[in-house]
């Protein structure tokens, strides 16, 4: 749904910042270090499992030498099958134990990765709840959801498998290189040429792929936001016969997502084959030089066998790292998007000496308040008014005049640019936000219900309310009869934001929810726009009784429903141009009279 004209501009993602790979990895490690003992166990398992796997080739080489009769005291006297059998059993045991430890390691890493991503999601939700309302107004909901779920899932996948594989590969690389040195330093020299070449190739491909993975995550967020908006507005979409246009636009975005996926995978996939080519060339050189050394008596067949196996164990990890490097780049890009959201500034903290507002009387005053969502665009200009305790204050005016903005300032969803807002004579900015907002009960034009029973939705702000209190609130909101007509009554489950009940009924439920809250002030932001005029008048009468001696703010378009207000503020272009009762304003023959006559002409 597009924003209202007096609300912040269209939501969009913020400018993409360059990825600081080192900082992102360090922050990711910080999350992992919260489970340091599990990580230590994982490290021990990784080292042990891969060390055992490195024993096998050496044992196999010794067995070959025994069979060939080389390098043994019993050369030429036959094969010592008992010794060969012992070596085979040791090799089999090492491989079996290594496999078992790797299995335990995989289970452990899945547990660690799930806990890390769970903690990340908790931090993201907590951060969003601490952010000012304006942040959500200015950012695409689909992109935020993509960061919370898609990006954290990407991180989870990488943590559960890729990091273990990289660590295992590094151990295998180091161990294989050491074993090759002990077997033949001359043959090992070949790798001193190959390693820098592999590193150079990896660096060049990384520079190309890293921005592509960042773009891929961004495009996925845009697609999620588009789909979320269109599904939410499906009725409007069908009513205006925009199916073909929407499908075309979705195809366009989907094509961009697919293209970004293809380009990132295309360039990252070149790393594996390229490294594999280098490894094959290396193996060919080893085969040639080891054969020459054998002919000159410089190496045994067993050592050649062991060296070749270690060379493959050395080359294999390089290829594996190359293959999963693209996934690691994707995970780093996803982590950076998560950390970017976590770095967004939260709502400014209450001042150290902030006062808790207790037992508010409901006297509200605005003194020369100016405000704009953007620096160069002022919505409210030098606004002043007084709302006495226990009064019904109606706020009217054309679309975009600043009515909803005024409510946002009263609730401190936004802070004023200049001027003061007083509550019972105290500056609202000297009060804690929690106590200030607790003083209000609020019903918005855009109703919000969650999946749950009708009872739970009404008692949302007062979970300790009794059944009788919930029913009394529903009766006051004129929704009790409808609820009782349902098969399960108050236990009826509302699904998908209330799609199984009408909009008017949804609004009545939210009004009942507001009535149940024991607040000293009530805000209705065009809250009865989806009910008929007769019901709206009855609801306001019921609320007037409920809000006796309490302050009530009503933003309304239908002027017939606020004729009994104690004070009507007429807002135009950010200023209160007229104020008074309905009769007083009608007698002025001013802007209010024009609005009223326009509705009933």
| pLDDT (tens digit per residue) in 397-436 | 887 667 778 888 888 888 888 889 998 889 888 888 888 8
Which sequence spans correspond to the domains of the chain?
Answer: 21-342, 447-518
How far is CA 317 from each of CA 27, 156, 198, 321, 579, rounded to the nearest angstrom? 26, 22, 12, 6, 78
**To which residue do tokens 């054309």 refer?**
398
Lowest-confidence segment of 73-77, 160-164, 379-383, 391-395 by average pLDDT: 73-77
Strand spans (E) along 372-516 = 380-387, 392-396, 418-423, 426-427, 440-443, 452-453, 493-494
> Over pLDDT 70: what percentage of the chain?
86
Question: CATH class for domain 447-518?
Answer: alpha beta
- More confident of the two residues 189 and 318: 189
More confident site: 77 or 522: 522
Query: Does position 7 have pLDDT exceeding 50, yes or no?
Result: no
Quick: pLDDT tens for 346-392: 888 888 888 888 888 888 888 888 888 877 777 888 888 888 888 88
Sign, CA dihedral 70-73-79-82, equals negative
Residues 260-267, mean pLDDT to the nearest whole number: 77
Looking at every residue in the chain, the average pLDDT score rounds to 79
User: Is residue 144's pLDDT more than 60?
Assistant: yes
pLDDT confidence bin for 318, thresholds 50/70/90: low
Residue 15, pLDDT > 60, answer no
pLDDT at 539: 67
Q: What is the mean pLDDT of residues 448-475?
A: 88
Beta bridge partners of 427: 422
Question: Stretch 255-261: mean pLDDT, rounded?
Answer: 83
Q: Which two tokens stand for residue 443?
A: 């019903």
More confident of the two residues 271 and 8: 271
pTM equals 0.63
Query: Alpha-carbon distance 359 to 389, whole Å?
Result: 12
Tens-place pLDDT, residues 510-536: 888 888 887 888 888 876 666 676 766
CATH architecture of 21-342: Up-down Bundle (1.20)
Interatomic CA distance for residues 400 and 575, integer angstroms? 12
Q: What is the pLDDT of residue 11?
A: 46
């Amino acid at each position: 749904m597009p924003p209202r004209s007096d609300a912040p501009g269209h939501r969009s993602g913020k400018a993409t910042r360059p990825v600081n790979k080192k900082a992102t990895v360090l922050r990711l490690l910080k999350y992992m270090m919260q489970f340091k003992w599990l990580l230590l166990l994982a490290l021990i398992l990784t080292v042990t499992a891969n060390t055992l796997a490195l024993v096998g080739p050496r044992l196999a080489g010794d067995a070959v030498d025994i069979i060939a009769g080389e390098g043994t005291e019993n050369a030429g006297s036959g094969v010592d099958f008992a010794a060969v059998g012992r070596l085979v059993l040791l090799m089999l045991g090492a491989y079996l134990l290594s496999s078992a430890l790797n299995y335990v390691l995989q289970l452990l890493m899945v547990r660690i990765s799930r806990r890390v991503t769970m903690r990340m999601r908790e931090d993201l939700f907590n951060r969003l709840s601490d952010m000012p309302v304006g942040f959500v107004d200015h950012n695409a909901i689909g992109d935020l959801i993509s960061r919370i779920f898609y990006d954290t899932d990407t991180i989870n996948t990488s943590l559960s498998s890729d990091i273990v594989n990289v660590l295992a590969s590094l151990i295998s690389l180091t161990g294989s290189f050491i074993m090759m040195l002990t077997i033949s330093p001359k043959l090992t020299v070949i790798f001193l040429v190959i390693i820098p070449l592999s590193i150079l190739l990896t660096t060049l491909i990384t520079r190309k792929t890293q921005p592509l993975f960042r773009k891929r995550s961004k495009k996925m967020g845009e697609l999620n936001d588009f789909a979320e908006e269109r599904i939410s507005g499906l009725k409007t979409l069908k009513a205006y016969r925009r199916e073909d246009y929407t499908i075309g636009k979705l195809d366009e975005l989907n094509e961009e997502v697919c293209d970004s996926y293809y380009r990132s995978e295309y360039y990252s996939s070149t790393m594996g084959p390229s490294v594999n080519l280098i490894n094959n060339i290396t193996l060919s050189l080893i085969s040639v030089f080891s054969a020459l050394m054998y002919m000159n008596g410089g190496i045994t067949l067993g050592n050649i066998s062991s060296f070749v196996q270690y060379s493959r164990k050395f080359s294999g990890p390089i290829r594996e790292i190359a293959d999963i490097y693209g996934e690691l780049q994707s995970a780093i890009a996803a982590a950076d998007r998560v950390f970017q959201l976590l770095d967004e500034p939260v709502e400014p903290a209450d001042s150290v000496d902030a006062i808790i507002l207790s037992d508010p009387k409901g006297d509200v005053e605005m003194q020369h308040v100016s405000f704009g969502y953007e620096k160069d665009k002022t919505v409210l200009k030098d606004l002043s008014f007084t709302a006495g305790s226990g009064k019904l204050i109606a706020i009217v005016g054309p679309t975009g005049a600043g009515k909803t903005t005024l409510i946002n300032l009263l609730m401190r969803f936004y802070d004023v640019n200049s001027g003061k807002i007083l509550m019972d004579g105290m500056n609202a900015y000297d009060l804690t936000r929690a106590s200030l907002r607790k003083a209000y009960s609020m019903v918005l034009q855009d109703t919000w219900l969650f999946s749950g029973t009708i009872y739970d939705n009404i008692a949302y702000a007062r979970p300790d309310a009794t059944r009788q209190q919930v029913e009394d609130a529903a009766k006051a909101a004129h929704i009790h009869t409808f609820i009782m007509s349902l098969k399960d009554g108050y236990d009826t489950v509302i699904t998908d934001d209330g799609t199984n009940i009408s909009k008017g009924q949804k609004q009545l439920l939210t009004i009942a929810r507001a009535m149940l809250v024991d607040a000293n002030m009530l805000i209705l932001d065009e809250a009865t726009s989806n009910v008929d005029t007769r019901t709206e008048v009855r609801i306001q009468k019921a609320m007037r009784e409920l809000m006796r001696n309490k302050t009530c703010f009503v933003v309304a378009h239908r002027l017939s429903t606020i004729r009994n207000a104690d004070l009507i503020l007429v807002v135009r272009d950010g200023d209160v141009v007229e104020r008074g009762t309905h009769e007083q304003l009608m007698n002025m023959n001013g802007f209010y009279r024009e609005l009223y006559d326009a509705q009933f002409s």
